Amino acid sequence: MSLDLSRFHATFFAESLEGLNQVEEALLSIEQRGHDKDALDAIFRAIHSLKGSAGSLGFGVIAELAHDMESVLDRLRQALMPVSAESTNVLLRGVDCLRNWILAAEAKEPMDAAAGAGLVRELQLLLQRKVEAGSETARHAAAEPAAGKRRYVIVFRPAQDFFHSGNDPARFIDELAQLGELESTVDLSALPGMQSFVPITCYLAWRIKLETAASANDIREVFEWVSNCCALEIEEAPLSEAAPESAAGEAGAARGDVAGGGAAEVRRDAGLVTMHVRTEKIDELVNLVGELVITHTMLRQTAQGLDAIKDARAVSVFAQLERNVQDIQERVLAIRMMPVNHVFGRFPRLVRDLGLQLGKAIELKISGEQAELDKSVIEQLIDPLTHLVRNALDHGIELPADRLSVGKPAKSTLSLHAEHRGGRFVITVTDDGRGINPEMVKRRALEIGLLNSLEEFDEAAMYAMLLKPGFSMAQKVSNVSGRGVGLDVVSENVRKLGGSLDIQSKLGTGTTFTINLPMTLAIVDGMIVGAGGERYIIPIAFIRECLQVSSVNVQSVVGQGQVLQLRGDYIPVINVMDICALQGGQVVQPVLVVIEAENRTIALQVDELLGQDQVVFKSLEANYRKVEFMAGASILGDGRVALILDINEIVKQHATIRALSRNQPVAAVV
Amino acid sequence: MNDSRTDDAASTAQKKEVLSFRLGAEEYCLDILSVQEIRGYDTVTSIANTPEFIKGVINLRGHIVPIVDLRIKFRLSEAKYDSTTIVIILNLNKKMIGIVVDSVSDVIAVPVADIREAPRFGSAINTEFIAGMATVDQRMLIVVNIERLLSSDDLQLIDQVAA
């Protein structure tokens, strides 16, 4: 039977990669905590099912390597072989290799088979060696079950959609045959007539008599990776009687047909704890809920005239509606939330490997990994966090000898912590390393010309310096960090997510990086401003301060527009009306909003500040196209649209914004 | 996508349903399948640096939808905005666009055979955007190829569709 297996590939890739991540995690935990039967069993099962799926989907190379890893794991879990750094290393590299192959297969690229050959050799070496060492126990363990050879009657009834998942029943029967002597009969009773026969439906069932030294669990294990799409009955039968049992079994099997199918159904339902939903569907839902909230606000405004006594019923219904709407909004936004563990989960491995490479002993402490954050934010956190962790390992944490000499324990601690704090999401990366030396930062800054010797250099200035582009403390370039693309990139990435990066460091004690993020990208903290009769939104993350024009010094520079003189700095002033080509009259008290982005500062002049709000970010490109200087749009409480200013673009291109010939310059308006 | 649906409709009923609307004195019509809804004109949020006929964007149940005033675009009638001003919301290539017209008349089933190629004459809308002409009950209708109109160079509201 030829089936197009490719449509199962996507599922296989996703499941296998997930499985490999779990294996990696479990291997690392075993390395730290020592032999752990449950964890080893879990790893064994994961690799076993990977082997099974890979084999049946035609990824022979993957199946072979998985097989060898499985053999080693089997020894480990039966304690025939001690868990050692060596075995963990080989297994971890095996995981890497499998992952690379799967990724290559996913990208339809050739797999690097050579990478596996060395690993297979190492695994086999490991096996041989340990067989010698553990032969005593092995012989002992093998001898025990051999004494009692048993007979099992196995009814294997694949679900009707068994073939849909790319499985071949013969494979399992072959595998059973390896356990002992086997006799199998096919049950054709479910086979329909030719008219209603569907070739891709599995109508067959098998009744297998097996004489083996293996246990019922071993048999179950053979069917492990199809356990959710078949019904399996294993009965132990005495060795002597065989014939009468089989006749009764036939009838039982026919009856079991219905029951067996039902059991498989139930089991599959139980497995359906999570489901994949397309992101667009959720976004659509978020959209509609946003709309519901606005409609509700408008309704509430209409209902304000209700009399609390006369319209008591209506008032209580409105209160009820308000609660329901809030609940719905919270739940719907929660759908997009994922535990931050998706990012944190990759660090144990990174820290272990880097620690070995750098010769540093590091204990990684992760806390708050269950805290949830919007999926889109999580994905974009991976790079900045990886950077911070590498940075801490390379620069922050000292070598064990250096640590001992200053009276610290040789093993250093790196903590990753996540928590919700006042509607924001806060992640801290803390090391107990050497801390940042202000003198060295100052010297380095002077060296590369980011600082002139006259400038004041305090703690705040030092942290600011660390975030400047091109600043790197590394004396020489290593492959861990210190390529000169440094903290400024992290800071910029975090800022793009609407967040901020803070540094706290104490010389000799350690450094803490704090990333402060909004809970979601879909919602922006915005300052609503009025200009020329329209309303615009400035994301609060960019705002440094707001000033009354009348209270500060704004000057005209010929040919250069307006300049604000603020604490010794000259900041260009741009009128939002010019950005938006609006014609407006004179305003009594215009306001300057000082914004900072891309390491530049400018002041935006607006007519008035209308308030702060959390607004739902919407793209203008969905139905229209990109609009110059606008990041998107949002819908305000009254149901009207307001545009969100693209601060990055405005800061970059502010020189191109030409002031309209308005009669009076800003300073004269006062 | 639209075309195939039109073909289906034509082959089964041999009639094409169109929505007729007025711009000044002329009566135009467009394929009913591209119309999503008809609503009153509401305050729009203007967008900087756009031609005058792009009035701005509105909030349509959570979607930001641009509004084009065809009356300004074709200089057909004085663009007044009051409670009777009509916006036709179109759904083209999965994009929503609103067009402002003077009034909407009705939905007419035009026999496909009756739609003739437009002669080269001076209607306000360039003949390039006219799919054909039809006469129903002594009324002359100009069938507009709205997709081509809205994807034309100066509007560039939707991605170019295959002609």
Query: Which residues in chain B touch residue A332, judged by CB atoms under 8 angstroms apart?
Result: none
Do A346 and A490 lie in one domain? The reply is yes
Considering Cα of A572, then A576, then A577, then A579, what sign does the dihedral take? positive
What CATH number has the domain bearing residue A598? 2.40.50.180
Do A532 and A467 lie in one domain? The reply is no
Task: With beta carbons less than 8 A apart as the criterion, state whether A167 and A229 touch.
Answer: yes
- Mean pLDDT, all residues of chain A: 77
Could you tell me how many residues make up chain A? 670
- Is B59 in Cβ contact with A627 (below 8 Å)? no
Do A210 and A237 lie in one domain? The reply is yes
Nearest-by-CA chain A residue for B94: A623
Q: Of A247, A276, A305, which residue is a domain's last?
A: A276
Do A140 and A99 lie in one domain? The reply is yes
Do A359 and A491 lie in one domain? The reply is yes
Rounded average pLDDT over A404-427: 86
Could you tell me the pLDDT band of residue A611, with boundaries at 50, 70 and 90? confident
Which residue is it, tokens 């509401």? B42
What CATH number has the domain bearing residue A457? 3.30.565.10
Identify the bridge partners of residue A230 per DSSP, sorted by sequence position: A158
Q: Which of A42, A549, A554, A522 is nearest to A287 (CA)?
A: A522
CA atoms within 13 Å, Cβ hemisphere of B58: 20
- The shortest C-alpha distance from B49 to chain A (Å) reads 6
- The shortest C-alpha distance from B26 to chain A (Å) reads 28
Return the pLDDT at A241. Answer: 42
Do A91 and A230 lie in one domain? The reply is no
- pLDDT tens, B127-158? 777 888 888 878 888 888 888 777 776 566 65
What CATH number has the domain bearing residue A32? 1.20.120.160
Q: Of A144, A170, A200, which residue is a domain's last?
A: A144
Could you tell me the pLDDT band of residue A244, with boundaries at 50, 70 and 90? very low
Do A357 and A492 lie in one domain? The reply is yes
Torsion of CA A303, A307, A310, A313, to 10 degrees: 40
What span, in angstroms and rounded, lies between the C-alpha atoms of A660 and A60? 70
Q: What pTM value is reported for the model?
A: 0.50
Q: Which of A236, A221, A227, A217 is nearest to A260 (CA)?
A: A227
Q: Which of B55, B59, B78, B77 is nearest to B67 (CA)?
A: B55
Percent of chain B with pLDDT over 70: 79
- Is A287 in Cβ contact with B62 (below 8 Å)? yes
Residue B23: CB atoms within 10 A of its CB come to 24
- Is B58 in Cβ contact with A581 (below 8 Å)? no
- Per-residue pLDDT at A490 exceeds 70: yes
**Burial label, A398 (beta-carbon count in 10 A; 0-12, 13-18, 19+):** buried
- Is A291 in Cβ contact with B48 (below 8 Å)? no
Nearest-by-CA chain A residue for B92: A623
Nearest-by-CA chain B residue for A623: B95
Do A511 and A549 lie in one domain? The reply is no
Which residues constitute the domain of residue A50? 1-144
Could you give the number of structural domains in chain A?
A: 5
- Is B156 in Cβ contact with A618 (below 8 Å)? no
- Is B57 in Cβ contact with A620 (below 8 Å)? yes
Q: Which two tokens stand for residue A65?
A: 């390597």
Do A360 and A498 lie in one domain? The reply is yes
Do A413 and A463 lie in one domain? The reply is yes
What span, in angstroms and rounded, lies between the C-alpha atoms of A604 and A645? 11
Q: Does the CB of B65 have a partner CB in chain A at under 8 Å?
A: yes
Return the pLDDT at A414. Answer: 92
Portion 251-310 of A in contact with B at CB < 8 A:
287-288, 290-291, 294
What CATH number has the domain bearing residue A319? 1.10.287
Return the pLDDT at A521. Answer: 66
Do A101 and A33 lie in one domain? The reply is yes
- pLDDT tens, A507-556? 888 889 999 887 766 677 789 998 888 889 998 888 888 888 877 778 77
Return the pLDDT at A269. Answer: 43
State the ipTM, two decimals: 0.76
Query: Which residues in chain A touch residue B45, judged by CB atoms under 8 angstroms apart?
Result: 534-535, 633, 640-643
- Is A630 in Cβ contact with B47 (below 8 Å)? yes
Could you tell me the pLDDT band of residue A142, with boundaries at 50, 70 and 90? very low
- The shortest C-alpha distance from B43 to chain A (Å) reads 8
Query: Which residues in chain A touch residue B64, judged by CB atoms under 8 angstroms apart?
Result: 618-620, 622-624, 633, 635, 641
- Is B59 in Cβ contact with A639 (below 8 Å)? yes
**Of A625, A627, A630, which has the smallest distance from its Cβ to B156's Cβ?**
A625
Torsion of CA A66, A69, A75, A77, to 10 degrees: -80
**Domains (range + CATH), chain B:** 2-150 (2.40.50.180)
What CATH number has the domain bearing residue A169? 3.30.70.60
Q: Of A336, A360, A377, which residue is a domain's last?
A: A336
Do A343 and A432 lie in one domain? The reply is yes
